[in-house]
Amino acid sequence: MDLVTAYTGQDVALVLIMLLMLALILGFIAGSSLILIWAERKVAARIQNRVGPMMTGPRKFAEFSMWTGGLLQTAADAIKLLVKELIIPSKTDAIPFIAAPVLIVTVCVTAYIVIPFGPAFSVSDLNIGVVHVVAISSLTVLSIVMAGWSSNSKYSLLGGLRSAAQMLSYEIPLIFALLGPILLAGGLSMQKMVLAQREYGCWFLLPSLLGFLIYYVASIAEVNRPPFDIPEAESELVAGYVSEYSGMMFAMFFLAEFANMFLVCSVAATVFLGGWLVPFMPVPDNPTPVYILLGILTFFLKTSFLVFIMMWIRWTFPRVRPDHLMNLGWKYLFPLSLLNLLICAGIAVLKDVYKLNGWGISLASLGALAMVMLLLQVVRIPRPDTFLEKA
């Protein structure tokens, strides 16, 4: 009885609000994934001149086919996955086979709780928000390995093992790329990183441009997007770790891929592009509802732009080999991430000592990047595409 009476009405209300926010996040993940699937078909149709996703749909909306085309196709696919028979092969290890898609969706929902969609608009502003996102996102690899191992298929097993090897190649450069903005902000809270960019007078994209590029490339590998879709290479492994999945369990993997893509782009927009900060507008001490709505809209516009670039890359570049990815991660991204950390440390010292404003930090950042480019020319470090020619 004491344990029950220990909780006040305020605590119960707080728990209910948290559960409501988690339910909203789950609905947002499902809805945004469907929108991203439709958007990717539109991008692919434009880049590769495909007719279906651009023209299918109600005839009365033919004049707006550029926007409405493909809507019915996406809806039909969603209904098909929901009603399709769920088949579990007889020789699979049933418990990890079923747990793998549940784990990957749980990871997505848990990682979203620290993303600041707007001023004071996040489920929980943890003081270790960046660590939370990186640590939780790493569990995605565990679900992929579980799915590959339990499927009792050589193609699925190879896909899972490829995912584990791929993680070793991109995870360390990704973490070191985030250390630069963490050093500049002086904390790990996602909201604090946004407010630190207001204090600096510029986005962290300028002092950590090299870190942004490294993070973006590594994040493409993290979500298994082309040209780094090695764990599910259909031309080599049928469908990789999802070869034996069907119905709703396959849909959970499919939706998690797009949810993770939006997640990594949200982190990039928050850490490097100012998050919900509205350009050319001062942040009020007590944000009004209008500014909060503008901040949320700005955040989604920044994230959507990064998602679009990721889709553009998918339909432009061919898939790389596993050894190419590991060479890129260890020989190029990792050393450059250490160099980016030194640049960010120098910028932080200059700001504290000389009290530089946004323009001064921008000029110092451009000067540091120019010195890096000069250094690369002097020591004659080969370009990343040269190892592709030797292989």
Tell whether 100 and 123 lie within a shared domain: yes
CA 56 to each of CA 17, 36, 45, 62, 74: distance values in angstroms, whole numbers, following the listed order: 41, 17, 12, 9, 10
Residue from 258, 240, 177 nearest 212 by CA: 177
pLDDT at residue 228, as a whole number: 83
Over residues 210-250, the pLDDT tens digits come to 889 999 999 988 888 888 887 777 666 776 788 888 778 88
CA 290 to each of CA 191, 278, 286, 293: distance values in angstroms, whole numbers, following the listed order: 19, 12, 11, 5
Tell whether 269 and 244 lie within a shared domain: yes
Domain assignment present for residue 10? The answer is yes
pLDDT at residue 391, as a whole number: 47
Rounded to the nearest integer, the mean pLDDT of the chain is 79
Tell whether 384 and 289 lie within a shared domain: yes
The residue assigned the tokens 């929980």 is: 124
Tell whether 190 and 276 lie within a shared domain: yes
Domain assignment present for residue 88? The answer is no
pLDDT at residue 378, as a whole number: 64
Structure-derived torsion over alpha carbons of residues 108, 103, 181, 116, reported in degrees to the nearest 10:
30
Domain assignment present for residue 162? The answer is yes
Residue ending a domain, among 41, 63, 83, is 83
Tell whether 67 and 143 lie within a shared domain: no
Tell whether 77 and 203 lie within a shared domain: no
Nearby residues of 189 by Cβ (< 8 Å), 6 or more positions away: 125, 126, 127, 128, 129
pLDDT at residue 269, as a whole number: 94
Tell whether 58 and 185 lie within a shared domain: no
Structure tokens at 298: 């700005």
Tell whether 293 and 361 lie within a shared domain: yes
Confidence of residue 3 (pLDDT cuts 50, 70, 90): very low
State residue 121 phi and psi, 5-degree precision: -130, 75
Over residues 18-75, the pLDDT tens digits come to 677 777 777 777 778 778 888 888 888 778 777 766 666 665 554 555 566 667 777 7
Average pLDDT, integer, range 288-311: 90
Q: Which of 27-41, 179-193, 260-274 has the lowest mean pLDDT?
A: 27-41
pLDDT at residue 2, as a whole number: 41
Average pLDDT, integer, range 196-201: 85
Domain assignment present for residue 28? The answer is yes
Host H or E run for residue 324: helix 322-327
pLDDT at residue 232, as a whole number: 73
Alpha helices in 201-274 (DSSP H): 209-222, 234-237, 247-272
Tell whether 220 and 334 lie within a shared domain: yes
Asked if the model's pLDDT at residue 271 lies above 80, the reply is yes
Tell whether 53 and 130 lie within a shared domain: no
Tell whether 63 and 117 lie within a shared domain: no
Domain assignment present for residue 289? The answer is yes
Number of structural domains found in the chain: 2
Domain assignment present for residue 253? The answer is yes
Global pTM reads: 0.85
Cα separation, 345 vs 354, whole angstroms: 14
Residue 48 sits in which domain range? Answer: 1-83
Domain assignment present for residue 76? The answer is yes
Find which of 63-67, 292-296, 367-371 is predicted with most confidence, using mean pLDDT.
292-296
Asked if the model's pLDDT at residue 298 lies above 70, the reply is yes
Residue ending a domain, among 83, 109, 141, is 83
Tell whether 67 and 121 lie within a shared domain: no
Domain assignment present for residue 90? The answer is no
Residue ending a domain, among 83, 106, 137, is 83
Over residues 128-158, the pLDDT tens digits come to 888 889 888 888 888 888 888 888 888 888 8
More confident residue, 81 or 110: 110
